[in-house]
């Protein structure tokens, strides 16, 4: 097992042990690609949602929110193109009978070449020490350039074949690259065929009277069909946006890597409606704005990169992914798409209702163009969790596992710990808890030694531990322990609120 796989395994079991994420229906041996969020998980999830909503809705006067239903009129999906084109290329290995997404098999092959480049860089870093210049090395090293050429060529072929729906060539590419099934180890593949990802269900009691419905595969269509409702009632002027957080469902062919690819997941999407012809300006704006949002969390600028789509979705004239360096390589975290007027025009056509905007400045009506930003909440959760997980050797020879979650997102902001269970310390600690708990999610803990309690809070990712000791009862001071540096400072109880607020304030992070 590689080091990365090993770390990822540890992250998954840590998530379970500390109440972040459980397999769905665990007692029935689980349901594939569905997960439940535990007490700390739901707090982290809510904090991510809040961080996104504040930045997208509250900080933009021209963006408003929506919460549309999961069930939609079935014609929605005909109009949006999902019934005809929301497919993934599927391939089976004849020996293991395992099913794969053909494009993911090829992307995994590319990731392996990228890992080799990372190893080349690591080796050279060790060899050249301080004199090492990574950019220069990547631009000039023969072996790296060869590998990069291979990657570019595979990407180009894959995108050409997929966009022309040439599934025979996709299969030929898998064979040419000698990609083997990880289970059987053979390259005995079936033909590649398309598979629609939408879940179908029925509404209504009788078989005759019922109609086929789909669980929405993206939240965006709820925004499109409400375009005029929102524009008129909120009196919005173009350019303006509609934001929504909600569940989406996809019958993913292969759902692996924990909460990275699920069949039921949550999206945070924003559709920004603009004048036709101005979409590229706004596409650039939102690329920049979203990357800044990610970087505001200080999880390492090198861990993000843009990846422009060559194989565009049926609705887009430009698209890019913000990729994050997960333990299993750089993968899509967020999509930014210029969706043209495709969706509004299609809904106009299928519904027979005009979906136009009268632009008072231009004195004309038009169907707006749309730039969307779409991030998976669960993927963002995995980004935070996998990036924060550390195993540290301490100076005293001990080790600790710590989640260095950005304080603004941490599920618990402070743990309040009486040093012992006597001499009035628990009462004083409860008093502090009362003072803080309405503004910050706090935990009171008195069981076990103080050292053990610190380790437990490190493992949960709590930025502050507040310890009440004998001195507290004399001079109203406590020790405040910082999760990352483990330093302890003696401070007045009166200052606690301001110190914590300074570190965890969403406003301060986003300002």
Interface residue with ligand GAP, options 41, 222, 246, 335 (CB under 6 A): 335
Interface residue with ligand GAP, options 21, 245, 333, 500 (CB under 6 A): 333
Query: Which CB atom, from 373 or from 443, has the smaller least distance to ligand GAP?
Result: 373
The C-alpha atoms of residue 293 and residue 510 are separated, in whole angstroms, by 8
| Footprint on residues 244-273 left by ligand GAP (CB under 6 A) | 250, 252, 261-262, 265, 267, 269
Three-class SS of 422-479? CCCHHHHHHHHHHHHCCCCCEEECCCCCHHHHHHHHHHHCCCEEEEECHHHHHHCEEE
Binding mask 379-408 for ligand GAP (x = CB under 6 A): x-----------------------------
Piece of the chain touching ligand GAP by CB under 6 A; list 113-121, 149-157, 165-173, 373-381: 373-381
The C-alpha atoms of residue 266 and residue 461 are separated, in whole angstroms, by 23
Query: Which CB atom, from 41 or from 376, has the smaller least distance to ligand GAP?
Result: 376
Considering the rule CB under 6 A, would residue 103 count as an interface residue with ligand GAP? Answer: no
Query: Smallest distance from the beta carbon of 222 to ligand GAP, in angstroms?
Result: 11
Considering the rule CB under 6 A, would residue 374 count as an interface residue with ligand GAP? Answer: yes
Secondary structure class of 114 (helix, strand, coil): helix
Piece of the chain touching ligand GAP by CB under 6 A; list 115-123, 303-311, 367-375, 477-485: 367-375
Query: Which CB atom, from 196 or from 437, has the smaller least distance to ligand GAP?
Result: 196
Query: Which CB atom, from 385 or from 496, has the smaller least distance to ligand GAP?
Result: 385
Query: Which CB atom, from 154 or from 268, has the smaller least distance to ligand GAP?
Result: 268
The C-alpha atoms of residue 163 and residue 73 are separated, in whole angstroms, by 29
Query: Smallest distance from the beta carbon of 376 to ligand GAP, in angstroms?
Result: 3
Query: Which single residue brings its beta carbon nearest to ligand GAP?
Result: 376
Query: Smallest distance from the beta carbon of 420 to ligand GAP, in angstroms?
Result: 46
Question: What torsion do the CA atoms of 395, 396, 402, 408 make, to the nearest 10 degrees?
Answer: -60
Query: Smallest distance from the beta carbon of 345 to ligand GAP, in angstroms?
Result: 17
Query: Which CB atom, from 341 or from 378, has the smaller least distance to ligand GAP?
Result: 378
**Closest by Cα among 183, 181, 376 to 262:** 376
Interface residue with ligand GAP, options 43, 218, 458, 469 (CB under 6 A): 218
Query: Smallest distance from the beta carbon of 440 to ligand GAP, in angstroms?
Result: 29
CA triple 142-144-149, angle to 5 deg: 95
Exposure string over 150-161, b if 16+ CB within 10 A, otherwise e: ebeebbebbeeb
The C-alpha atoms of residue 119 and residue 162 are separated, in whole angstroms, by 30
The strand pair at 414-418 and 442-444 is best described as: parallel
Per-residue tokens: 487: 């330093």
Cα–Cα distances in angstroms (integers) from residue 458 to residues 135, 254, 383, 451, 483, in the given order: 36, 34, 18, 11, 6
Piece of the chain touching ligand GAP by CB under 6 A; list 20-28, 162-170, 173-181, 371-379: 371-379
Query: Smallest distance from the beta carbon of 197 to ligand GAP, in angstroms?
Result: 9
The C-alpha atoms of residue 467 and residue 223 are separated, in whole angstroms, by 48
Query: Which CB atom, from 256 or from 455, has the smaller least distance to ligand GAP?
Result: 256
Q: Residue 412: CA atoms inside 13 Å, Cβ hemisphere, count?
A: 25
Number of other residues whose CB lies within 10 A of the CB of residue 295: 13
Task: Tell me the site size for ligand GAP, rule CB under 6 A.
Answer: 19
Query: Smallest distance from the beta carbon of 43 to ligand GAP, in angstroms?
Result: 20
Question: How far from each other are the two terminal CA atoms of the chain, in whole angstroms?
Answer: 43
CB neighbour list of residue 394: distance below 8 Å, 6 or more residues apart: 400, 486
Q: Which residues bind ligand GAP (CB under 6 A)?
A: 218, 220, 250, 252, 261-262, 265, 267, 269, 332-335, 372, 374-376, 378-379
């Amino acid at each position: 097992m590689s080091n990365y796989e090993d770390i990822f395994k540890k992250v998954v079991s840590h998530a379970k042990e500390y109440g972040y994420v459980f397999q769905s229906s665990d007692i029935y041996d689980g349901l594939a690609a569905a997960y439940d969020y535990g007490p700390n998980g739901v707090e982290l999830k809510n904090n991510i949602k809040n961080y996104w909503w504040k930045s997208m809705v509250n900080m933009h006067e021209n963006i408003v929110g929506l919460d549309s239903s999961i069930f939609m009129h079935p014609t929605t999906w005909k109009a949006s193109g999902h019934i005809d084109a929301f497919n993934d290329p599927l391939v089976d290995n004849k020996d293991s009978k395992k099913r794969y997404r053909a494009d993911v098999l090829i992307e995994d092959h590319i990731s392996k070449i990228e890992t080799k480049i990372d190893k080349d860089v690591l080796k050279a870093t060790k060899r050249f020490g301080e004199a090492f210049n990574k950019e220069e090395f990547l631009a000039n090293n023969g072996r790296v350039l060869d590998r990069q050429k291979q990657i570019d060529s595979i990407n180009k072929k894959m995108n050409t074949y997929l966009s022309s729906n040439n599934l025979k060539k996709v299969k030929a590419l898998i064979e040419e690259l000698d990609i083997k099934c990880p289970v059987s180890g053979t390259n005995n593949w079936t033909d590649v065929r398309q598979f629609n990802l939408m879940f179908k269900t029925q509404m209504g009691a009788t078989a005759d009277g019922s109609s086929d419905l789909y669980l929405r595969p993206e939240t965006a269509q709820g925004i499109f069909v409400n375009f005029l409702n929102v524009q008129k009632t909120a009196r919005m002027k173009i350019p303006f946006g509609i934001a929504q957080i909600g569940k989406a469902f996809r019958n993913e062919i292969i759902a692996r890597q924990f909460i990275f690819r699920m069949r039921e997941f949550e999206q945070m999407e924003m559709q920004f409606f603009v004048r036709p012809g101005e979409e590229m300006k706004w596409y650039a704006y939102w690329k920049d704005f979203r990357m800044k949002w990610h970087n505001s969390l200080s999880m390492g600028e090198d861990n993000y990169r843009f990846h422009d789509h060559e194989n565009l979705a049926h609705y887009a004239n430009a698209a890019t992914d913000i990729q994050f360096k997960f333990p299993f390589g750089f993968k899509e975290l967020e999509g930014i798409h210029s969706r043209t007027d495709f969706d509004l025009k299609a809904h106009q056509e299928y519904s027979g209702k005009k979906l136009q905007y009268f632009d008072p400045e231009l004195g004309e009506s038009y169907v707006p163009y749309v730039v969307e930003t779409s991030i998976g909440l669960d993927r963002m959760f995995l980004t935070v969790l996998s990036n924060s997980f550390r195993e540290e050797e301490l100076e005293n020879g001990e080790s600790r596992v710590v989640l260095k979650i950005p304080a603004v997102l941490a599920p618990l902001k402070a743990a309040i710990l009486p040093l012992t269970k006597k001499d009035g310390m628990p009462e004083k600690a409860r008093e502090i808890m009362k003072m803080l708990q309405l503004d910050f999610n706090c935990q009171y803990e008195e069981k076990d030694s103080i050292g053990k309690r610190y380790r437990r809070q490190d493992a949960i990712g709590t930025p502050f531990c507040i310890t009440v000791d004998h001195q507290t009862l004399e001079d109203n001071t406590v020790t405040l322990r910082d999760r990352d540096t483990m330093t302890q400072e003696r401070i007045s109880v009166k200052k606690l609120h301001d110190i914590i607020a300074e570190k965890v304030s969403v406003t301060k992070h986003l300002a």
